[in-house]
Structures are given as C-alpha cells and as structure tokens.
Amino acid sequence: MEGEAKNSKLPREQWDVIKRKLENFGGLYTYRDKFRVLPYGRTDFDWLKFEERRSLSATYYQFSHRRIFGYIEISRKKNLGLKDKAGREGFIVNQTYREFQNDLIEFFIDLSKRYLRTITKDEKEKGEPLTLREEQVEAIKQHNNRILKAEKKRNKITATGFNRELKENSEKIDLKIPEIKLLLDKLETENKNITLNYNEVSSLISQIDYCKNELKKLRLVKPNRIELTESQINKYYAFREKYEETSELIVKCDTLISHTREKLLERT
C-alpha cells in the first residue's frame, strides 16, 4: 500500500482502515502446508532485508513490513532441503535455505527496480522512462487534484450561498421579531376581554400561524464542508440567538392560542 493517502487509489477512509491493519498484521509471512512458519513475517526479523534496503533508499526500495500484506507458500514435499531447527522455529541455515532466501531477495529487488522505484532527476534528464508505479501515482495525483479543485469550487459556491442566506435571513428575522411580539400582545389583550371577538381572534391566530411557517423557512444550518471566518461565525451565532428568541415567542403564542381556543369552546 502507498505510504501516503494522496498517492493511493483507495478512498481516505479505506486507506486509514488498511493502514491500521498494516500496523498490526503487516509483513511477508511464510506458510508451509498451510501452517505458518515462525519467525518469518515478524517485523523484528528482517530475513529478506526489506528494512535494511529501505534505510539505504526509500525511493529506490519500496517494500516494507509496514506497507505490505503477503505470504510465501511452500510444502515439505517440494522443499525437502528446508529443515526445521531443533526448536522448530525457523529453518536451518543450509545451502537450500540460502538459495531460497537469495531468490526471494532478488525477486523483490527486481520488482522494486523495474516497477516501483522513483527515478532520479539525472535519470529523467537522460530520458529514463517512468516506472509503472510513477505513472500510476502521477495519474492518481492528477485525478485527486481534479477532485480537489471541484471540491474547492463547490465549497466556494456553498460558502457564498450560505453567507448570502445568513445575511438575508438575519434581516428577515429582525422584521419578524417585532411582528410576532405585536401579534402576541394583541392576542393577550383580546384574552383579557370578558367577551372574545371570534373574528379578531381567528385573524390573529391565522397571522401567527403564517409567521410560524415563515420562521421555519428561515432556519439555517452551517454546511459541514465550509470553514467560516471569525466574523462570519459571530454573525451565525447572533442569527442563532435571534432565531431561538423568535422560536420562544412562537411557543408563547401557541400556549396562548391553546388557552384562547379553550375559552372559545367554553362559550359556545
């Protein structure tokens, strides 16, 4: 797996999941007849010299225990020369083991050189072609850059639209607060009368219901994808406070409307 998420085809969420798995289970294991052979695959046993080579050049030698999953599958029948040590942990270092180890080392070096390494500036100037990995990484970077540009464009549009709505809704709610207060006062005054004026009460309730519906339209939630300046944050919180204040007025109106309707029912 690529060491940096920006160079990977994996979505960031999947890359994070696999990275965590690699920290616990990464490495190249050895299985003989479907049973794991220790200590091969342990990060502290660098028998194929992955980490040794990476310490010389991380751009040249790409393989690392922290960045690969894999296993080597062998059998007793086809690998008679690989003998267990007395403690049964690992193979005896004999001619067969050395050939086995050297073949694998050369195989991974060849993969790194041929397909995965990053070519130097001098090699580029001499016309050395990009490796397969470099071609893929370049294509992935271009793809990710296009996505990033599109995302920034969307964010800009979203931020612009949000700021516009914040300004417009804030102005509208400034007008709604005194309007609702006035309707509440009128309804309270009407309730104090010995005889309720049905037409007047009905008109006030209709106007309050209309204001309630208009208030719902003014509700504004900050999109998660945009970042606000300190000034915009202050304006947003000021709007939220005004919206809560207006919502509390509506609750008072609803309570009074309920009481008013009960009085009207009592007198019918």
Long-range residue pairs from 159-165, CB within 8 A, at least 24 positions apart, any chain: 159/226, 159/228, 162/220, 162/222, 162/223, 162/226, 163/232, 165/220
Quick check: 155 pLDDT over 70? Answer: no
Mean pLDDT, rounded, of the chain: 84
Residue 265 confidence (pLDDT): 74
Please count the CA atoms within 13 angstroms of the CA of 20 that sit on its side-chain side: 5
Q: Are strands 35-36 and 69-74 parallel, antiparallel or unpaired?
A: unpaired
When pLDDT is averaged across residues 73-94 and rounded to a whole number, the result is 92
- pLDDT band at 194; cut points 50, 70, 90: confident
- Give domain limits for the chain: 5-117, 160-266
Q: Which two tokens stand for residue 123?
A: 């090699």
Q: Kindly report the number of other CB atoms within 10 A of residue 236's CB atom.
A: 18
Q: Which residue has the higher pLDDT, 154 or 47?
A: 47
Quick check: 101 pLDDT over 90? Answer: yes
Residue-wise pLDDT for 131-145, tens only, equals 667 777 778 778 778
Residue-wise pLDDT for 5-35, tens only, equals 887 888 888 989 999 998 888 889 999 999 9
Residue-wise pLDDT for 198-252, tens only, equals 888 888 889 988 888 888 888 887 766 667 778 888 888 888 898 898 889 889 8
Residue 157 confidence (pLDDT): 59
Residue-wise pLDDT for 110-130, tens only, equals 888 777 777 667 766 677 776
Q: Which amino acid is at 116?
A: L
Q: Which residue has the higher pLDDT, 250 or 87?
A: 250
Q: Which two tokens stand for residue 30?
A: 């050895």
Residue 110 confidence (pLDDT): 85
Q: Which amino acid is at 41?
A: G
CATH annotation of 160-266: 1.20.58
Residue 80 confidence (pLDDT): 93
Residue 224 confidence (pLDDT): 66
Residue 154 confidence (pLDDT): 67
Residue-wise pLDDT for 40-75, tens only, equals 988 889 999 998 888 887 766 778 888 888 999 999
pTM higher than 0.75: no
